[in-house]
Amino acid sequence: MLYNEHKFWIEPESPYYCFRGRQKFDLALLYRPRIFVWAPDKLVDIFCQAPNCGRKLHSDGFNCDPIARRIVDIDRCYKCKKTINGHDSELMDSLPYHIQSIFLAILTHRGGISRQLADLLRPCFQNAMGPERLHDLLQELHHLRYSRLQLTYLTSIDHQQQHAPQLSFFGATGVNQSYPPFSNFDDPLEYAGYVPSATYLRMIYTAIMDQLQLFMDKEMMVLDGVVLKGDHTFKIIKHMAKVGGESTFYALYTVYHISPRYIRTISDANIDINQILSDIEDGRSITIAFDTEWNYNKVTKYIGKMAVIQIAYNDLLLILPILHYGVLPEKLIDLLKSNNVVKVGRNVGNDLAKINRDYQVDADRRHVVELGSFAKEQGAVHDSRTNLSNICAAVLGSPLYKGNNDRLSNWESPLLSPNQIYYAGLDAWVSLNVYNSLIERSKNLRKNNYISNNSIQPTTPTTISSLIYQDDNQGQEYLDSDSLLYDEDIFEEQPEKEVIEQNENYGITRILKDPFHLMAQLKIPKKHSL
């Protein structure tokens, strides 16, 4: 095979050797293009990405539609009916980078451009050479090559005619031999010249920049600020309707909105999750919100395999359709197993238990925060089984709308709908904000030496529970213990247990909440001099 010679290209003969020693000129030799042969299964072992398969891929020959893609072959898995192209994005993402870099083309539906031309797009567009001008440049270069080949062909004919008596170089032939005409530039059966349109170049450039956008944003976040500017707009206000001759608004400020990232490939998932893991390299702990989705049928009681994982961290909100990955991303497994990552969520322990069952991952279940129990400990709710919507209303001031249509939708769909993405992302994002708000509230209470009304109500002689004397360091004892997990759909409302127990062996104790509460206990006569 070509790879045994350490080559990827099949090069056509030089125009000089196309004519040397031949009685008749074969123009087909002159029209032959360079051919790049791409058979990644010959370079590295590749395994099928189809669900419940995972077997090694084997070559199934070259592609037939379109046949012009001669760098493409088809791979298939033994005993698996699914076949994929050698340039398939999921297959390419599964290859090591040094193998991916060998593939020297960017493909579209039935065509493509070389990496060399793709590398030229951005500097041209950045330097006032747009797609129209680049199209003109490519047209000039392509026709220049065509003209040079045609000139080579015509001069070779002239040379043969002039040296017909001494034919030691080109072989025996007659002086009156006829020669086929050189092909037209755009003849699809012979020379087959083609220059991509400006629209086509613009489309490819946009697709390339969409893939690079994430890396560009990360690079901008890493760089230090040299000149930072802020602005608010007054111009748009002039175009808005006025009330009584006065502008309703005087300035416009822009706020950003966190959008969930729907990550469809394993390589992209590893990149984003690695950004989270980079914050624990120094050994410190971080907190993420963790939620999952899977199919459930209330009638048949069918419970599907975990299909989607949602992760919220700082300004990052990831939606991972793990069921269609086939295997869990390597960085996701590291995140689940890490003792330095605290997972927060409603029924987060059950979610981790299910992912352990479905994907045989030994996820860490000790460093979790069950949001219902934590909200109760902080005095936000009275019942640890309170659902996320009511917890959100109690802590953030607004309930979380969760429609049953989205909740019971098909989470195993190959492509999630915008409503599903919004629904899934909202659960994780709200969980993180509720947790952060409870932590901030706890810090403020300790700072002001204030005891919440919902924590203890000493209206009768009581024994102070030992819980009062525990270290209230963001619930560290809670983090180190196994959380009690409940399913809000299974358990019915039950009365709460009293935290403070009666005991006649202890003296009367009353907690004074603050100095103002103390002053309220002092009865001052109305005729007092004060």
Per-residue pLDDT of 180-206, as tens digits, reads 888 888 887 887 788 888 888 888 888
Please give the share of the chain, as a percent, with pLDDT higher than 90.
18
What is the enclosing helix (H) or strand (E) of 36? strand 35-36
Residue 425 contacts by C-beta under 8 Å, 6 or more apart in sequence?
Answer: 260, 310, 312, 317, 319
How far apart CA 515 and CA 517 sit, in angstroms, is 5
Residues 109 and 199 sit within 8 Å (Cβ to Cβ)? no
Domain residue spans in the chain?
2-38+103-162, 261-456+471-478
Name the token pair of 474: 């963001």
Can you give the pLDDT at residue 336?
94
The two three-digit tokens of residue 134, written as one number? 């680049």
Q: What are phi and psi of 246, to 5 degrees?
A: -110, 140
Mean pLDDT of 260-272: 91
Integer angstrom CA distances of residue 247 from 111, 232, 240, 241: 54, 16, 8, 7
Contact 321, 332 (CB under 8 A): no
Q: CA–CA separation, 254 vs 416, rounded Å?
A: 29
Contact 264, 321 (CB under 8 A): yes
Give the pair of three-digit tokens for residue 72. Answer: 């493409």
What are residue 63's DSSP bridge partners?
none
Residue 458 or residue 444, greater confidence: 444
In which region does residue 128 sit, left (phi positive, over 0), alpha (psi from -120 to 50) or beta (all else)? left
pLDDT of amino acid 46: 66
Q: Could you tell me the pTM of the whole model?
A: 0.42
pLDDT digits (tens, 9 = 90+) for 207-246: 888 888 888 888 877 776 655 555 566 666 677 777 777 7
Q: Which two tokens stand for residue 449?
A: 């030496």
pLDDT for 113 equals: 79
CB atoms within 10 A of CB 201: 24
What is the CB neighbour count within 10 angstroms for residue 338? 18
Q: Which residues of 144-179 are buried (b: 16+ CB within 10 A; e: fewer)?
A: eebeebbebbeebeeebeeeeeeeeebeeeeeeeee
What value does the mean pLDDT of the chain take? 72
Rounded Cα gap, residues 443 and 474, in angstroms: 8
Q: Looking at domain 261-456+471-478, does it have CATH number 3.30.420.10? A: yes
Per-residue pLDDT reduced to its tens digit, 58-86: 666 655 655 544 322 223 233 334 444 55
